Amino acid sequence: MYNKMPFTKKAHSAVHVETRKMSGECCGTKSKCCGMGLCHLIGGLLLIANLVVMVIFFMHYNNMEAMKVGGRANMKMVQQIYKTEALQQGQAQQIQAAVQQYQGAAQAPTTAQPTVQMDPTTPTQ
């Protein structure tokens, strides 16, 4: 009744793709996906903590500078002094004098050290 011919199989080069239904539990494995989410959370929290520390440090630094001159009112007056033309010119003159002094010292010839001549006839101890 049936044709009983031998069955031959031909080999084909093909790519086999396996698909799986993903569960809601971190891609099905706990090794990669869940760890990355935790790392991102910790990184974000560290960035926020760093920002808070920087703001607190800046506020404390400004407060310390104001306390050095006797308070915020004095700090405003000191800032006005720093902005005056007379102070800027005085500072520029002092800096220029220092530059000339150091350039002059570098260009000046070094003085020779005095040599001591010994009389060969005098005994030394």
59-90 pLDDT, tens per residue?
A: 999 889 889 989 989 999 999 999 999 999 99
Question: Model pTM?
Answer: 0.38
Q: What are 51's two structure tokens?
A: 């920002």
The token duo for 92 is 């520029």
Residue 115 is predicted with a pLDDT of: 64
Handedness of CA 103, 107, 109, 113 (dihedral sign): positive
Which residues of the chain are modeled with pLDDT < 50?
28
Burial class (CB in 10 A: 0-12, 13-18, 19+), 46: exposed
Residue labelled with tokens 């407060």: 63
